Amino acid sequence: MPNPSQRSLQAHSSPIRKLAAYADQAKKDGKTIWHLNIGQPDILSPEQALQAVKAADLKLLAYSPSGGTASYREKMPRYYHKFGITIAPEDILVTNGASEAILFALLACLDAGESVLTPEPFYANYLGFAGMAGVEVKTVPTRIETGFALPSVDDFRRAITPDVRAILLCNPNNPTGTVYPEAMLRTLAEVVMERNLFLLVDEVYREFCYGDTPFFSALNLPGLEKHVVVLDSISKRFSACGARVGAILTRNHELLTAIQKYAETRLSPPTYGQIFAEATLDTPETYFETVKAEYQRRRDLLYRRLSAMPGVSCYLPDGAFYLFARFPVDDADRFCQWLLEAFSYQNQTVMLAPGSGFYGSPGLGMQEVRLAYVLNCDDLNCAMDCLERALEQYPGRTETSTLNAEPVDHSLR
Amino acid sequence: MPNPSQRSLQAHSSPIRKLAAYADQAKKDGKTIWHLNIGQPDILSPEQALQAVKAADLKLLAYSPSGGTASYREKMPRYYHKFGITIAPEDILVTNGASEAILFALLACLDAGESVLTPEPFYANYLGFAGMAGVEVKTVPTRIETGFALPSVDDFRRAITPDVRAILLCNPNNPTGTVYPEAMLRTLAEVVMERNLFLLVDEVYREFCYGDTPFFSALNLPGLEKHVVVLDSISKRFSACGARVGAILTRNHELLTAIQKYAETRLSPPTYGQIFAEATLDTPETYFETVKAEYQRRRDLLYRRLSAMPGVSCYLPDGAFYLFARFPVDDADRFCQWLLEAFSYQNQTVMLAPGSGFYGSPGLGMQEVRLAYVLNCDDLNCAMDCLERALEQYPGRTETSTLNAEPVDHSLR
């Protein structure tokens, strides 16, 4: 029997989905599971976009152009303009979600064996895409003690080894919810230019900023027009994860021409998804205002509940819909599995994404978890009731966070 | 300015789409273009599948499971059963078209630097996916003189160098329309087992067999359960290229577990496409009968018209909806570009896919083109009227096929 490739056997398992089998079993056993593991919003998709798909009078479900339908691409600049971003249809290529945008960007910016540098913890699937593209993910640490703030320019400089060809950021950040301030990005831009790197920025959460730090797009960094590649998706802002429509935006047309070849190889993004995506561009501002207010209420609730749990460390995240907390447990992977296998409270339990999977450096994140606040406040309260009791009952509870050398600054709670 | 990766600059350009800019210009100039370059069927999609999408009462366009929705996967075996294939939902993973199935199979079966062996000419985008996966495409030649029949077992044996980990077939074949007989596949199976290889078979055209050779699935090769990986798509059989729904089928669960990690990395296949795909399973047999009869009429017409053109070599293809012909031209790439740039007949012209892009070996296919018969018979006749005149007028016309060493057997016409 032929064996699978070594790279596939060693491929990264998604910490977001790897406990799915335990969850399935728990559901079969009749347990209610509160899903805080996956960034699948529960907010309804914009009604007019759902209607646009129903109204589409297709007789033949044909390929679209490889880079996306002309009508969608031509309207997209209007959306970006709302964020002060001036971009042309010629700077945009439509992809199968941000997922494919990340893969294409890695393939087109890096050769096999080269490295991309990213702050950790990072969106875990970057590791999966890097594996597919045959590139390394190198990391610069960020710390819960500072709310996972962007590392200093000196930290980045030290980490840029000769094999590093690109810096990859997620802003607002998944999994930490951190929003990177304009001033920090401008300083980082100097390093990017000085070392002649690509700057890849995953901005799929740009709508979701709740604090004093306004969103600042890498596309507005002056002088970096040929360096910046923005990775985007309609999944989060329009609760449309199933559309599988994302985009790559760059003013570097030599790069975009190279990416276009990958796009042609896979023929086209999904036609229905693009009909939906085009209609999302007419979503009224009130939709976003309502959605943002709802997420902010949840964030506040989650932070308040977690902060009241003894031994839990967290901070108030400024954006996205994630919070990355430290729990008083021996091993968060074990704890998250125990939640599904062995724990229940009123026949309910919670599913979380263990933190270690969001780190590239071995041994980090062992006491950390990502919580996605994608449940309404009532359900979120039920989930927190479960979690509070689970942390009390868990056999591997530790009284303090022991695995990181430095003490947790409890003022952050 | 940072440069794109070497691999992206060297990536294969799709011969199917690379002349698109010339076609756009010709359209702007008011010319009608008969598209025989791309396998985009003009046949209408099944009505009940289009209606299923309209009827879907979605409020939230959510991710599906990474391997596809449970309801779709559970119904899929019924479809395969019609072809005498017994397969379980657990053997199936739903992908973003056959495109993603090919990429995942290459990543999971081969490590970077290893090789996949395929008869040439082959579906050109295999080269693109191989480039993305960092693997080599090695080839075994097939010849127009024998209707591009499957190479002999000895030819395969000679070509299996130690770096070859898999054989990749397309049956019925794109770009040649050749259908591989059961006996040939059984003999090849012995080599696959003897050398412990994977056998990847792209069977997206299995509905379209017109001749005496019935379709035989690699999934029915005895003893090869752990070797065979079938790559599939609903694009062609249901005229649903824009759905972006394909599948990987294999009974090798160790391999499928490895592939599942790639599927989780990219989160999910498109939700609307899967609703459509699930509904295609209820397509009445009369749909296929009508569609198949229509393609057969077109094939016969195309073959008759091409055979009557002086200097053109072709054969009667048994399957799919392609014909790979040899033209009396100096360079088919130049000829195809000239058709769009410089030629018109009654303000019409034809777009074809130049043959060289379907070969891995340099210098082959220089006089060949792929024609997709995806136009109705009237339009196909108009296209052939254009082509006939174009071949007469083309300044680079050659009286005989000069670039291949061996003489063309004209009895094939």
Q: Residues 326..385 of A with a Cβ closer than 8 Å to B: which? A: none
- Cross-strand partners of A231: A202, A248
Q: What residue ranges do the domains of chain B occupy?
A: 6-44+286-403, 57-280
Nearest CA to B107 out of B119, B94, B116, B118 is that of B116
CB A249 within 8 A of CB A206: no
Query: Quick check: helix, strand or coil at residue B118?
Result: strand
Looking at residue B62, its pLDDT comes to 94
Put simply, whether B239 touches A (Cβ < 8 Å) is yes
CB A198 within 8 A of CB B5: no
Looking at residue B401, its pLDDT comes to 53
Chain pair A-B, CB pairs under 8 angstroms: 260
Quick: pLDDT tens for A203-248.
Answer: 999 999 999 999 999 999 999 999 999 999 999 999 999 999 999 9
Give the C-alpha separation, A46 to A50, whole Å: 7
pLDDT band at A38 (very low <50, low <70, confident <90, very high): confident
Domain B57-280 matching CATH 3.40.50.720: the answer reads: no
Residues of B in contact with A117 (CB under 8 A): none
Looking at residue A287, its pLDDT comes to 94
Residues 6+ apart with CB under 8 A from A258: A108, B4, B5, B8, B9, B11
Looking at residue B406, its pLDDT comes to 45
Looking at residue A401, its pLDDT comes to 53
Looking at residue B400, its pLDDT comes to 61
Chain A: give the shortest CA distance to residue B341, in Å. 21
Quick: pLDDT tens for A160-204.
Answer: 999 999 999 999 999 999 999 999 999 999 999 999 999 999 999
Q: Give the residue from B94, B196, B250, B265 with the most A CB atoms within 10 Å of its CB, the best one to mutate.
A: B265
Put simply, whether A197 touches B (Cβ < 8 Å) is yes
Q: What is the b/e burial string over A323-335, where b = at least 16 CB atoms within 10 angstroms of the residue's CB?
A: bbbbbbbbbbbeb
> What is the reported pTM?
0.94
Mean pLDDT by 10 residues, chain B (413 residues): 96 82 93 92 94 96 95 98 97 98 98 98 97 98 96 97 98 98 97 98 97 96 97 96 98 98 96 98 94 96 97 96 97 97 97 95 95 96 98 91 42 35
Put simply, whether B279 touches A (Cβ < 8 Å) is no
Q: CA B338, B341, B343, B349: dihedral to nearest 10 degrees? A: 100
DSSP string for residues in A13-78: PPTTTTTHHHHHHHHHTT-EEEE-SS----SPPPHHHHHHHHH---SS-PPPPTT--HHHHHHHHH
Total residue length of chain A: 413
Query: Quick check: helix, strand or coil at residue A167?
Result: strand
* Rg of chain A on CA atoms, in Å: 21
φ and ψ at residue B43, rounded to 5 degrees: -60, 140
Domain A47-280 matching CATH 3.30.1360.10: the answer reads: no
Q: What end-to-end distance do the CA atoms of chain B give, in Å?
A: 55
Is A265 in contact with B2 (Cβ distance < 8 A)? Answer: no
Put simply, whether A162 touches B (Cβ < 8 Å) is no
Whole-complex ipTM: 0.94
Nearest CA to A343 out of A329, A358, A364 is that of A329
Is A5 in contact with B110 (Cβ distance < 8 A)? Answer: yes
Mean pLDDT of A346-361: 95
Chain A: give the shortest CA distance to residue B233, in Å. 13
Quick: pLDDT tens for B300-352.
Answer: 999 999 999 999 999 999 999 999 999 999 999 999 999 999 999 999 999 99
Of A11, A59, A226, the CB nearest to B261: A11
Give the C-alpha separation, A199 to A227, whole Å: 6
- Determine if residue A68 is left, alpha or beta; phi over 0 gives left, psi from -120 to 50 gives alpha, anything else beta: left
**The 3-state secondary structure of A321-363, one letter per residue:** CEEEEECCECCHHHHHHHHHHCCCECCEEEECEEHHHHCCCCC
Q: Rounded to whole angstroms, what are the CA distances from A391 to A17, A354, A384, A403?
A: 22, 14, 10, 17
Q: Which residue bears the tokens 């798509």?
A: B233
Which CATH number, 2.60.40.10, 3.30.1360.120, 3.30.200.20, 3.90.1150.10, labels domain B6-44+286-403? 3.90.1150.10
Looking at residue A340, its pLDDT comes to 97
Put simply, whether B211 touches A (Cβ < 8 Å) is no
Give the C-alpha separation, A179 to A170, whole Å: 9
DSSP string for residues in B88-106: -GGGEEEESHHHHHHHHHH
Residues of B in contact with A43 (CB under 8 A): 60
Looking at residue A400, its pLDDT comes to 61
DSSP string for residues in B169-185: EESS-TTT-----HHHH
Quick: pLDDT tens for A267-321.
Answer: 999 999 999 999 999 999 999 999 999 999 999 999 999 999 999 999 999 999 9
Of B11, B42, B226, the CB nearest to A261: B11
Looking at residue A15, its pLDDT comes to 79
Tell me which fold the domain A6-44+286-406 belongs to.
Answer: Aspartate Aminotransferase, domain 1 (3.90.1150)
Give the C-alpha separation, B58 to B270, whole Å: 14
CB B54 within 8 A of CB A50: no
Please, what sign has the CA dihedral across residues B337, B340, B343, B349? positive
Looking at residue A14, its pLDDT comes to 80
Q: What percent of chain A has pLDDT over 90?
A: 92
